[in-house]
Amino acid sequence: MHIYHLNTGDKGRIVSINAGKTLKARMKSFGIYPGVEFTVKAFSLGKNNVEIEVGRSRVALRKGEMDKIEVEKLTDDKA
């Protein structure tokens, strides 16, 4: 599952990042790595961009970046 399968307000957890070393390092610098929980704050029209909250930071991602990040949706019993 990818972030764009979620809806605004949903909580999720990063499962894996299927990208090269450079993009993985960039994502890690934003606090995005496997095991991290996040909240979807907003999508652009067509879900081509997303704003997520990771810890106390907000990060904007493009569709190409979202394609490389596998996530799981958190439900009340998983949060």
Structure tokens that stand for 9 in this block:
């307000």
- The pTM score is 0.89
Compute the half-sphere exposure of residue 46: CA atoms within 13 Å on the CB side of its CA: 3
Chunk the chain into consecutive blocks of 10 residues (it has 79) and report each block's average pLDDT, rounded to whole numbers. Answer: 96 97 95 98 95 97 96 82
pLDDT score of 79: 56
Domain boundaries, the chain: 3-61
The phi and psi torsions of 5 (rounded to 5 degrees) equal -85, -10
Element (H, E) at 35: none
Whole-number Å distance between alpha carbons of 70 and 79: 17
pLDDT score of 76: 77
pLDDT score of 67: 96
How many other C-beta atoms are found inside a 10 Å radius of the C-beta of residue 64? 10
CATH architecture of 3-61: Roll (2.30)
